[in-house]
Structure 1
């Protein structure tokens, strides 16, 4: 998935890869996914609105992560943390997404994985899991949204982001998405917002900072009979600036771009009821290298 780094990260707190709980097999750094301990899935966003400093006008279904990213980026851009102590992402080819047998994380904070390794693998795992959480339907509920922001973000930026998002998710915003004033789905409908990471790539890696891109596909919309906003798929890439804070990776800022997007296949579109049943029946994953 991602290239290595010129630094020897085996010299960090947790020791070499061969003797810590995250050590990969045979020196490889490949991707694996494992099911959580009985947890529902997470989702993600839709096509990005072109406004870097504020929420954009939304026509039709709005994608959540875009709003979160637009507000989060008010504090700066990814260039703010640039350092010559980094490497080009093209130095090595991406690692294939095959299982390594490496334990992905040490635990979880609520429904979100936590305790990521203090190395390149851990940064990628954190970025993928955070993308899932930030693109989930839970972000449309005020209480769960604040929990997600506190869990995934650097405490230095979380309070302001929470306040901005609380103001942004207004009754008018929910109405544009097709939801009730409190963010709940209308009776008989199921709100779908789920993000699925396809792959990750390390852009920069330092001892206590990393920039990781997560290529994702997502589902968003209202499923059920009578829905005027059917569930559609989107493709996007999220870039996260991560910091090592309090013994774990946390987001300090993030941005999003559209694509890469594959050609649509010839699959028959499922009915509204089939889609609603699938969302209820299939849970999500914990993502890790």
Structure 2
């Protein structure tokens, strides 16, 4: 799911109804999905994404100067309205690239759909594994920005970072535990758009932590908003820049926190979503 406050330090780059990012410049910052983890203890402050996870949902610090500021236009006047998950454009988005939905419509809804799905990918537990992380970035980032994103994230997902989120230094999950990193978009909003570019905000909820009886990093939730600048490239929407901020965060309910075993079974038994709009 998105990572700590340190990863939020930059503007860049560890899913529904109306679902709605600047990147690598410095070396600080943890993985994308990470930034959203901001309400955690100091030992996990690195977990605020770059995204998601992040939740990566855990987030990453990317002050990207690569944006050309070409996104322009006036946001449409209509207010966000609740809508069921449905295909954008005239037909369902039924293709995938590297396991991530692709082939989005070349319009406002297509950009929103792409941003929501990319938030899910950046906040997944796969961002903690270099091969899978590289595949994700190649699938959703504009080609000329992939190398920068990879270099920044390779430094962010360090042995120390892995240890801070409860993993082994090599990124593997300790025996008898279940690692959780998942991002779920709550809604999206287009703030700027033109024929071939769009800036989309994605409001998300994220989960991050280790489920297990003796876990010192239990699974916790966080709320954050990811902003992505997208560009129409090679017949699809791709990320140019990515940033994240905390909230909006609802008041916690009165529900009893689940046991470690219940949480582990839930994560293993309920798959995550992909979004078409």
Aligned to 2:9: 51
Aligned to 1:73: 63
Distance 1:251 1:235 in 2: 21
User: Which residue does the alignment assign to 1:151?
Assistant: 139
Gapped runs of 5+ residues in structure 2?
11-25, 31-37, 53-58
- SS for the counterpart of 1:88 is coil
Superposition deviation, residue 235 in structure 1: 0.2
Task: Tell me, in whole angstroms, the C-alpha distance in 1 between the residues paired with 2:221 and 2:4.
Answer: 9
* 1:108 CA displacement: 0.6
Residue 276 of structure 2 corresponds to residue 284 of structure 1: no
| Distance in structure 1 (CA, Å) of the matches to 2:86 and 2:181 | 29
Find the counterpart in structure 2 of residue 33 from structure 1.
Answer: none
Aligned match of 2:34: none
The whole-number CA distance in structure 1 between the counterparts of 2:182 and 2:193 is: 28
Q: Deviations over 1:134-184 (max 9, x none)?
A: 011100011101011111101110012112211222211211111112111
Provide the C-alpha distance between the structure 1 equivalents of 2:85 and 2:164, rounded to a whole number of angstroms.
41
Between Structure 1 and Structure 2, how many residues are aligned? 242
Q: Which residue of the partner structure matches residue 182 of structure 2? A: 194
Q: Are 1:55 and 1:67, in contact at CA under 8 Å, matched by a contact in 2?
A: no
Work out whether residues 191 and 221 of structure 1, in 8 Å CA contact, stay in contact via their aligned partners in 2.
yes
Query: For residues 172 and 260 of structure 1, do their structure 2 counterparts lie closer, same or farther at Cα, with a shift above 3 Å needed?
Result: same
Q: After TM superposition, where is structure 1 displaced by more than 6 Å over at least 4 residues in a row?
A: none
Q: Following TM superposition, by how much is the alpha carbon of 1:64 offset from its aligned partner in structure 2, in angstroms?
A: 5.8
TM-score, normalised to structure 2's length?
Answer: 0.81
Radius of gyration: which is bigger? 1
Counterpart CA distance in 1 for 2:172 and 2:87 is 39
Unaligned runs of 5+ in 1: 1-43
RMSD: 2.2
Aligned partner of 1:243 in structure 2 is: 231
Q: Within 1, Cα distance between the matches of 2:190 and 2:181? A: 26
Query: Could you tell me whether the CA contact under 8 Å between 2:75 and 2:190 is conserved in 1?
Result: no
SS across alignment from 2:137 = helix
